[in-house]
Amino acid sequence: MKNNQEQIRQSFSKLLTQREVERRTVVFPFDTVASAFEFQEGQLFCIDAMDSLGKVWSFIGMFHNNEEFNNCVSICLHQFPVEKELKANDKITFTKRPLQKNARICKRFKVEIKRKIRLFGQDIWGELTV
């Protein structure tokens, strides 16, 4: 039987900046992602994330604990922004998925991208399925 903490669905999201899209690296405040990871300063960690089309992406992240970065986590997205044609103000969400038996040590997530469109005077967030 799983304990309550394992059953809690953990997710974190943010709106992408132009700089993050260009550099292909997204930066999250530490408080936003702390419950999803166990961090060691300066240590790289791996994330496997499945998109809405079922493709699995591997990202590399790092915890930064210094004045320049203000305690944050950076996740390098590699080719993901290019293939998904990401733009500034797109919303990226990572939702933690349970580990399977014999899984690699990478954390498993679902990654979802939403873009805001204006339709009949209303803002609507639609999922990108590129």
More confident residue, 86 or 9: 86
Which CATH architecture describes the domain 4-127?
Answer: Beta Barrel (2.40)
Question: What secondary structure, in 3-state letters, does the chain show?
Answer: CCCHHHHCCCEEEEECCHHHHHHCEEEEEHHHHHHHCCCCCCCEEEEEEECCCCCEEEEEEEEECCCCCCCEEEEECCCHHHHCCCCCCCEEEEEECCCCCCCCCCEEEEEEEEEEEEECCEEEEEECCC
Query: What average pLDDT does range 18-37 have in this prediction?
Result: 90
pTM of the entire structure?
0.80
Query: What average pLDDT does range 97-104 have in this prediction?
Result: 62
Q: Break the chain into its structural domains and give their ranges.
A: 4-127
| pLDDT tens figures, 49-75 | 999 999 999 999 988 887 766 788 899
